[in-house]
Structure 1
């Protein structure tokens, strides 16, 4: 019987590409890392309101090909002093991956205990802290999380020499099996479709014209010296605005997660930004003030 135990708290994890060459295509690595970073940020926005998260690559390791990754939490909104960020992102992602894998052939058996949940399928058992399992159920409802995880596997497919992929806590990688390449498409087909040429980027936007009502009407912003139009789709931001916790004026800035749609130029094949959406507002910076609150 193979038993996989998901740790209760971990702010570091390792992305493994299984390959005999001990190297990986740079584009495959970059694409997978962007997808993983976006998945981490989406999970964090759901389970850690009031905290933003930064994802950094600490090191590249020998072996097959491994990237060590660390998450860094930062307060973005008023939260009570005792409300620390929960370092359970790896647990959510690891549980989701193996839950999806076990569920491909037959619906797994779920046993809920007081402090843990057992996911049983065939000769495999995944033991998950109950807090992480409940958080995973909330996060997996997000299409953005699913799309981002699909991008992780779609990126790995771009290197024909990658035979497997896994995400593990540091120091425990021999104990957890890889997802074989022949199962990558199951993630990609289910979660990456017409939206495959979109990326999410943290950005600071200067407001040129605000639309102070909910919906898809486009605001106008300045970003990196150019003018862009984008709807603001963050319901929590509008809740704060209508509760008079935020006052908006031209020249103010918003710290946001920007969804960027891209399409290929027909002549060069280069991906060009075609439209934008603000999917999350993490901070409001009044005009003339250099730090957000």
Structure 2
């Protein structure tokens, strides 16, 4: 009996030791390179060893950790939220931008330009307490579905990237989201979707005010933009909030270029990663010519800078957490 228990225990230990940390990644150069880097910086005997306190990894969200097509999911939320608001109060529809939002006319809104989009975002993201806004987002995430896949938006996180985040944390890394998305929007689902707590979510934020309403101290979202966490804003915000240069940075567009460039320019072992959307069969293939997630500089310069370009079609055996091949739908 004792002998059987010993054999079983050794077998279990062996299986755990050799468990694949990235099962949704194909056996390609990309997977091997990620694992090799992580092993080198976590091995105390390695010349590249990095102490746990310096194992910081930062990732963009839209297009890197979850999908971003046909438009950013936060904009879809804003339009659907405004449609409900307009049904309750048709008097709110006071401009061409808001008319387009009320009609769900994404094309007209896009043609109206950035100011029109900002007007819709302000109408749905300001004048509310942070608690009320996040309750609205939480209800939307729990029920709304994507127009193409039919999946809930929180099911359209990328399974291979969720595995990568988990693998890094298992190896003593602290993982952060650093995204152009709204900080109060992403904080609603970040922990459940990615295992990233709210205090490790860095993003664009509006100005807020402190008010006591009916004897209740409250934080109110204001219409003015406080900080845009995109492009050069990303390394600035990382320095401001984290206070350390990460050793891993991942993104999918030229909006992430400065963050990856700054990360990999530091001393010691560094790792830059770009998710290249090449899988037009199971997701959407796009790069330099895209109106969302435009990727030109990263593709051209990244390899020469030592960055890993992840080819979704070749490197991943699965796309979404909420569906598997074939079909990727529900």
Structure in which a larger fraction of residues adopt strand: 1
Structure in which a larger fraction of residues adopt helix: 2
TM-score, normalised with respect to structure 2? 0.21
TM-score, normalised with respect to structure 1? 0.23
Higher relative contact order (CA 8 A, sep 6+): 2
